Each structure stands twice: as C-alpha cells, then as structure tokens.
Amino acid sequence: MRMPLHDKPYRYRALGILTTMRRYVTNPYVWAGLVGIGMISAVMYLVLNLWVMPSFTRHDASITVPDVINLSEEAATASLEAAALSAEAVILRKPNLPRNVVIDQNPPPLAEVKPGRRVYLTINTGDTTTVVVPRVESYGIRQARNMLMQADLVVGEVSPDSIPSVYKDIITKQDPSPGQRVPPGTTVHLLFGTGLGTTSVLVPDVSGMNPEKARKTLLDVRLRSVVMDESPESDSLRVISQAPPAGTSVREGYEVRLFLRQPESGPTEQ
C-alpha cells in the first residue's frame, strides 16, 4: 500500500532524525566526550565529598564528653571548657532533688561530639523564689507566649523588630534575655520579624571574626546571620567562610550563613 503524498514529509523527517542519531551514536568523539564528562564529574564528587565538605563539617574531629554529673556548675563548666566544649545551664527548682550540682547533662557522658559543641547542664537550685527566663527567640509568637506563661512569666509588649528578618512573625529578641533569673510574674517584652526589607545592602566581610562580633557586624548593616555549627557560642571559633560572600548585594534582613573552625595557630581576635 502506497503512503499518501501528504505523509511523505513526515517520513523523510523521521528518517533524517534517525540518521542523525545513528551518526552521533557511532561517532567515537561523542563517546570520548561523554567519558570525559563522567570522569570530571567523578573527580569533582570525590573532591567535594572527601575534602571540601569535611573541611566545613569537621566530620573527622570528635571529642569525648566528660562526665560532669554531681559537679557544681563552676566545676562542670571548667571541665567542659578544658575539653574544648561549651556549657549552658538549665535550671530546675525542685526542693526534693540534690541542690547546686549537675543532675543531668545532654549530650550524655562519653558521647562523641564535635569540638565546641554546647553541653546542656541540668542544675537544681531548689530556689522557688525566682524563675529562669526561657529562650523563646526563633519561636513563633504564639508558642513564645505559651512558653513564658508556663514559666510563670508575663508577656509584655510584642512589637515588630526595627531590623527586617527573613522569617515573618518569628521572635527575634527578648528582654529579659534567656537564662536570667527573675521573680515569678516578671514581664518579658518581645520583638518579632517582619520579613525582608525593600532596601539592598552589601554583605560585609566577617571572615576571621568570632561569632559574636560577626553577628554584630552584620546587624550594623541590618543583616542577620545563622551559624552553621553546633556550638556558635564558643569564643575560640572563628568564621572561615560566609555565604553569600562579602560584597554581594542582598535585601535588608537577609540571613548570612557563617561557617566556623578552630584557629590552627597564631593570635586570635578578641
């Protein structure tokens, strides 16, 4: 059966496509190029997986968490700092438990963690005349209210933060600050984020700074930061890289990621 005349152009087009595909498939240079691309991709994967990423995440570095249970807060903190770790106290007010010593820790004793990791120490003071202000920063407004009320505190003014923030309606600052001991019924004032601003600013260079100074430098130009490390409060850590890099134009309130590492040698910045 003869193909209708109007179908012949489609047949010729299909034959042309098949001929072109056959030409590429049988061309040794095409295969050589594909093999080259595959080898380059494999090398890049190995470099990223074995060298670049470990330099940021420090998977090869670990510290055994010392056992500080039953020590005083001062002795426990000193022991952790000697092991290149930091400490944060979580206060209880239970009169029926041992007082003024560590009764629990997280991570637990003998756990393997990265240098600079924060260890939370549960300390019972037995003091029922004051309460500890919980950390409500980075929580939503409703959850922050609930946390404060559960701690026998009063929610005061809840106002928009003057510095824009990526995350809208998330608490950015509190007063009194987290960890302070205050009488029950103390009023806690909150600031929340309003979203990114409309003005663009240039990202400053914060490499070599400790986390606290890097945060302040970024806030001075109305930018926020997030530390890509498990223990951003360690004074011995320094910023080794940032994203986006210095000089990038971003909107006010943009969150700059900071990557930290222990300085290898030489004087450290104060």
Residues 216-258: tens digit of each pLDDT: 999 999 999 988 865 545 567 899 999 999 999 999 999 999 9
Under the banding of pLDDT at 50, 70 and 90, the label for residue 270 is very low
Six token digits for residue 126: 């037995």
> In terms of Cα–Cα distance, which of 88, 81, 85 is closest to 63?
85
Domain membership of residue 269 (yes or no) is no
Residue 160: what are its φ and ψ, rounded to 5°? -70, 140
Residue 238 structural domain: 200-261
Q: Where does a domain end: 103, 124, 145?
A: 124
Q: Is the pLDDT of residue 43 over 50?
A: yes
Domain of 243, CATH number, reads 3.30.10.20
**Which of 270 and 136 is assigned the larger pLDDT?**
136
Residues 193-211: tens digit of each pLDDT: 999 999 999 999 999 999 8
Q: What per-residue confidence (pLDDT) applies to 28?
A: 77
Please check whether residues 140 and 186 belong to one and the same domain: yes
Domain count, the chain: 4
Mean pLDDT (the chain) is 84
Domain membership of residue 253 (yes or no) is yes
Please check whether residues 135 and 185 belong to one and the same domain: yes
Residue 243 CA, distance from chain mean position: 12
Q: Where does a domain end: 167, 192, 217?
A: 192
Domain membership of residue 215 (yes or no) is yes
Residues 153-164: tens digit of each pLDDT: 999 999 999 999
pTM above 0.95, yes or no: no
Q: Where does a domain end: 73, 105, 124?
A: 124
Identify the top-confidence range among 95-104, 136-145, 177-186.
136-145
Domain membership of residue 112 (yes or no) is yes
Please check whether residues 207 and 249 belong to one and the same domain: yes
Identify the top-confidence range among 42-56, 177-191, 219-233.
177-191
pLDDT above 70 covers a percentage of the chain that reads 82
Please check whether residues 148 and 177 belong to one and the same domain: yes
Please check whether residues 47 and 93 belong to one and the same domain: no
Please check whether residues 68 and 33 belong to one and the same domain: no
Q: Is the pLDDT of residue 177 over 60?
A: yes
Please check whether residues 71 and 35 belong to one and the same domain: no
Q: Is the pLDDT of residue 179 over 80?
A: yes
